Chains A and B, each alone.
Chain A
Amino acid sequence: DSGVTQTPKHLITATGQRVTLRCSPRSGDLSVYWYQQSLDQGLQFLIQYYNGEERAKGNILERFSAQQFPDLHSELNLSSLELGDSALYFCASSGSRGSSYNSPLHFGNGTRLTVT
C-alpha cells in the first residue's frame, strides 16, 4: 500500500460532462502529481502541486484543471469531456518535509475514466 488514496476507482460518464477526481497524498508528502495513462500516449505528466501551489505543468489540456487544498488533498477537474479523455488517471505524491527533486513518487491505484 503506497499510502496514496484516489477516488473514485471507476467513473463512467458521457461526452460533454464534467468530473472531479480526488487524491489524498501519503501522510507528510507535500507534492502531488497527476498523470494520465492511455494506450496510445503512455504515461503523461499533467500537473504538479507543492504545498498548495502549482509547481510544474505538463501536457494538461485547458479543459482540465487541478488544485491542492490546505489539507494537501488534490482534485483534478476534467470538463467538456471527449471520448479521447478515457484513460487511467494517476495521482502520486512525494517528498516529506525535506522534499527534493530526487524523491521517488508514490502512486495511487488510479481512477479509470470511461467517456461514452
Chain B
Amino acid sequence: AQSVTQLDSHVSVSEGTPVLLRCNYSSSYSPSLFWYVQHPNKGLQLLLKYTSAATLVKGINGFEAEFKKSETSFHLTKPSAHMSDAAEYFCVVSGGTSYGKLTFGQGTILTVHP
C-alpha cells in the first residue's frame, strides 16, 4: 500500500521569495516519486522525478526536490518564485506494481503575489 500527503492545501508567496511545498509519502516498497504541476485548464506536466538515483533531484523551471528516506519526505523547493509558477502542484508516489498505478496527493495551490 502507498499513500502521499501534501501538508499544505494552499501556499502563498511573494514574487522573488523562496517556495516550499511539502510532501510526505508512505510506501511498502522503494518508491518512485514525482512532482507534477497543473496550470488552469491544462493537463498535468511533469516537473521532476526521483527513482532511487541521486536524492536531490533537479527539475524544470528551477524547481528541485530532495528525497529524505528517514523523514519519508519529498519536499519541492524553488529559490525564487515567479508569477508564472502560480498553479496547483501534485506530489505523486509510484511503486510496488509492475504497471505503475500512481497515487496522487490532494494538491497544493501555489499563489504568487507581485
Contact = CB atoms under 8 A, between A and B. Distances in A.
A101 B44 contact: no
Interface of B: 32, 34, 36, 41-46, 49, 51, 90, 94-95, 97-107
Contacts of A110: 43
A31 B99 contact: yes
A99 B34 CA distance: 17
Contact of A56 (B43, B90, B99, B106): B99
A115 interface: no
B91 to A, nearest CB: 11
Interface in A77-116: 90, 92, 94, 99-110
Contacts of B49: 102, 104
Contacts, number: 65
- 8 pairs of A and B residues whose beta carbons are closest in the complex: A107-B43, A101-B100, A43-B104, A107-B44, A55-B99, A102-B32, A104-B46, A109-B43
13 contacts: A2-B43, A2-B45, A43-B104, A45-B101, A48-B99, A90-B44, A92-B44, A101-B94, A102-B94, A105-B102, A107-B45, A109-B41, A109-B42
A50 B36 CA distance: 22
A70 interface: no
